[in-house]
Structure 1
Amino acid sequence: MTTLADPVPGGRPKDVARARAHAKDLSTQGVHGVVLAYVDTAGIGRVKTIPVSRLASAAAWGVGMSPVFDTFLADDSIVTTDVLGSPDGDLRLYPDLDQVVVLSAQPGWAWAPVDRITQEGARYPACSRTFLRRTVSDATRRHGIEFKASIEVEWAVGQASAPGDAFVPAVSGPAYSATRQVELSDYLLELLTAFAAQGVDVDQIHPEYAAGQFEISVSTLDPVAAADRSVLVRQTIRAVSQRHGLRASFSPAVLAQGVGNGGHVHISAWRDGANLHAGGDRRYGMTPEAESFTAGVLAHLPGLTAVTAPSPASHLRLRPSQWAGVFNAWGHETRETAVRVITGTTGRQDQEANLEVKPVDLAANPYLALGCLVAAGLDGLDSGAALPEETTGDPARLAPTEAEARGVRRLPTSLEQSVEEFRRDDVLVTALGSVLADAVVAVRQGESAAVAGLDDEGVAAAYRWKY
């Protein structure tokens, strides 16, 4: 369960007592430090760490951190907006006590996601975790709808001994092959062991398509917990990789050519325990509300890409005919459309039916990505948006006249285009609020400027080990 209430100075009722009990229990397990984790606007995981003895103090009064990090770029340079990016001010980081986890692959450490508030105790408008929590809470309040979500994690495993920042795949076997699984059998086993110890329910873990690439899928949770889990999964993969003399990259494009790393989002809407994507009288068992929610996501995808595919490296991955979903279209189990309607196995549709949103990668801040996807879907639900005709096969093969008639359009082909689409999308800008929306624009523009003049290989190299 995720804590849904905002932090307050002094702690919520019973929080301090719970934190003391947590700290005592953690100490008996040999934990000495706690990682307090959040993700900045650029998609970089940032942390503060505290001794376990300070957990109760953190639950009561938070831990200080500058707000400047919300306008950091992936290379740690800083851009500014009218309210962010200066050396002034401070924030308080409050750990979510419901999500404290002992890190199996980092002996002596525990981990917890944080919410951030101002020193005065007010909600911090650039806290992406708070944004997501309030977005899903508002959906429940207004529509009686809750969500289940998960984020796929793809990563490339390289040899840590490779010279400089070069990427040398740690495996040589073919895509999806038994050879790759055998080559890194001990590594994958330690990952499974670590995830089990941390309470992460793994659906599958397997070799993927690109050189050295693997993927893990985990079970669905509420969106805030799903975003937390995505951050924790990556923390764990990095730690286990290092223990095996390997290096993990979650960059959208480890190399300039070929298939990149995705972070596909699976999401479904529920009311009173019933899945709105199954058992309905619309296409593929969707209810009218599920169709409208899907239509909303589809309609806002051009602007959404500034949040879901936010790096210059993202656009090295977003290429046609590579299952990246670069066309604004939907299809039933169609892996080339941006939105894939999944109906699930016979007998389990009521549990498994969901949407997969494909133009998402792991440069994205998962809290921003999920929050904006929910906001886009709710806009479709509010307006009763109609879902257009579905697309089968590869949209890249449609004749231009047929694509135009179907409304199938290529999503933005550059980060600059994504930003322009985002700025024109009033629904997304309003959902985020001016402070966070301005940070998204400023950081994306800063990333574009940082790689101006680089060729594709230069862009891939610049972000290879950032995420």
Structure 2
Amino acid sequence: MSTGTVAPGRPEPSAEPSAAAASTAAPDPAPGGVALPPRADRAERGQRAQAAVERLRAHDIEAVAVTWVDNAGIARVKAVPLAGLVHAAQWGVGAAPCFDVFLADDTIVTSRLIGGPTGDLRLYPDVERIVPLAAQPGWAWAPGDRYTQGGAPHPGCQRLFARRMVAAAAERGLALRAGIEIEWVVALAGPAQEEPRYPTAGPAYGMQRLTDLSDYLRDVLRALGEQGLTVLQIHPEYAAGQFEVSVAPEGPVEAADTSVLVRHTVRAVSARHGLRASFAPVVEAGSVGNGGHLHLSLWREGHNLAHGGPGPHGLTAEAEGFLAGVLGALPELLVLGCSSPVGYLRLVPSHWAGAYQCWGLENREAALRLVTGSTGERSSAANAEIKCFDATANPYLAVGAVIAAGLAGRDQRLALPPEFTGDPAQAEPGTVPRLPAGPEEALAAYRGSAVLREALGEPLFEAVLAVRQAEAEQYADATPERLAAATRWRY
């Protein structure tokens, strides 16, 4: 990864270009490893930040936006002028811990271990990921890690949690490649309370829709490319005004970073075209929604463990155990991957949303879809897709929790249940388990998950629980129309 820019993904061919087929090159055995406490490498941080400042000056950058994503899935920000970047990299920027218990509408709650007006943290920009923002002249962006004022990792930092899970995999000799699909609906700019008005009436997946917005989509592609991202494809999707862009796979932490960057880039380009973008799971009640599908592949010593093994469709025993752990934990993982109550308006049968707890080869109705790729590229392309996730998720929580569940399945040597083909909604009742149809059922599974409690740690586990419970209560009596309207421009 080059200092001062987002690391470009590797443009390998993929059977599922909308996500993360693995690279043919061996992944770094410990990408996104646990960061050193700031006090241990303050001088080095300052040197790297100063080098970044010199590069950013050449791009006429005046300020850096440092983001983190809260437990409601909202990206929050502190910005520093370019002249203050070195100090921010060495000493951090103040950020109150109460942000861990913000709801999506900015209501503040509290949890058993985090919350209230007292205390402060330090937000450190990751200078290795700084990138000039192509659609926001004068600005650069960096993801941040949060530490205590004494230099210890903040136990509620979601990005550090994801790093810990990547390190846990590396301790087992495993590396992962990941990607998160980015789907959005674009509408004409207007008052927040106004129903969406779409700039194109083109049909689903239709060339007409691309033609109507070709200048806009070209600028999206240009901005992403200028920011160092490898775009694999961009295309119209099913719902009115809906599009999807896919970028190349990376390590899990980097993929989570990229999902944040891509969404902000799409928003910025949209604003410059008099448009606004929504990544909410459902923009209009009753419509097909936006997913945030997570793709993962598991690697050992340069070998893709989803290929060449004796298990189903070439899975190795380690990959099968990993996926079995993920599949078995999907009810509780929904709390982290389908975070808002509005996500359950999308998670309905026969909509390719993955509403059933089953797996299958290229089965778009299964919550866990196995993608092997075409003959001849399977050693690089084979991966698994989690279809029941959406963009209300904090991406760092989502990737970290999936790794935790997968490692537990791998360690226990679990096996996948029988594969399901076809639409599980048409199966004999009771044959295929339905995933939780609402947040309370998912929360019950989450409360009972020893794996997630241990992986997240009590402070983060409890903060997530407080936020999810509060939002479930907040919208318990809301109609689908009200719920969609309340959240469509928050994500």
Task: State TM-score, norm by structure 2.
Answer: 0.92
Other structure's SS at 2:38 match: coil
Q: Which amino acid aligns with 2:352?
A: W
Q: Which residue of 2 aligns with 1:301?
A: 330
8 Å Cα contact 1:162-1:168 kept in structure 2: no
Whether 1:356 aligns to 2:380 is no
Q: Which runs of 5+ in 2 are unaligned?
A: 2-30
When residues 140 and 310 of structure 1 are mapped into structure 2, their CA distance, relative to the original with a 3 A threshold, is same
How many Å separate the matches in 2 of 1:136 and 1:152? 20
- Residue 434 (1) aligns with residue 464 (2): no
Match of 2:6 in 1: none
**Matched residue, 1:375:** 404
Distance apart, 1:11 and its partner CA? 3.9
Structure 2 match to 1:99: 129
Structure 1 residues 410-457: Cα deviation after superposition (integer angstroms, max 9, x where no partner): 000101111111111111111111111111111011111222321110
One-letter amino acid matched to 1:235: H
Q: Give the structure, 1 or 2, with the largest relative contact order (CA under 8 Å, sep 6 or more).
A: 2
How far is 1:3 from its partner?
5.5
262, 268, 282: which one pairs with 1:233?
A: 262
Q: Distance in 1 between matches of 2:170 and 2:86?
A: 31
Indicate the percent of aligned positions where both proteins have the same amino acid. Answer: 52
1:247 aligns with 276
Aligned residue for 1:291? Answer: 320
Query: 2:32·2:251 contact (CA, 8 Å) conserved in 1?
Result: no
Q: Aligned with 1:117: secondary structure?
A: strand
Shift of 1:14: 2.2
**CA deviation profile, 1:112-154 (whole Å, cap 9, x unmatched):** 001000001111000000000011111111x100000000010
Q: Which residue of 1 aligns with 2:99?
A: 69
TM, length-normalised to structure 1:
0.97
Distance change (3 Å), C-alpha of 1:223 and 1:375: same
Q: How many residues align?
A: 461
Could you tell me which amino acid in structure 1 is paired with residue 87 of structure 2?
Answer: S
Q: CA RMSD in A?
A: 1.2
Q: Against the structure 1 CA distance between its residues 206 and 184, is the aligned structure 2 distance closer, same or farther, given a 3 Å change threshold? A: same
Q: Deviations over 1:260-303 (max 9, x none)?
A: 10000000110111100011121111111111111000000011
Q: Tell whether 2:75 aligns with 1:45.
A: yes
Taking the aligned partners of 1:6 and 1:139, their CA distance within structure 2 comes to 18
Distance 2:421 2:46 in 1: 55
SS in 1 for 2:269: helix
Q: After the TM superposition, which residues 36-435 of structure 1 pair with which residues of structure 2 at under 5 Å, given as runs? A: 36-141=66-171, 143-161=172-190, 164-400=193-429, 403=431, 408-435=432-459
Kept after mapping to 2: 8 A contact 1:36/1:112: yes
Which whole-Å CA distance do the structure 1 matches of 2:215 and 2:188 have between them?
15
Partner of 1:38, secondary structure, is strand
| Counterpart AA for 2:72 | A
Q: Deviations over 1:71-123 (max 9, x none)?
A: 00001001111221200000001111110000000000000001000001111
In structure 1, stretches of 5+ residues that fail to align are none
Listed one character per residue, the Cα deviations across residues 39-71 of structure 1 (whole Å, up to 9, x for unaligned) are 000000000000011111011101111010000
Q: Give the secondary structure class of the aligned counterpart of 2:462.
A: helix
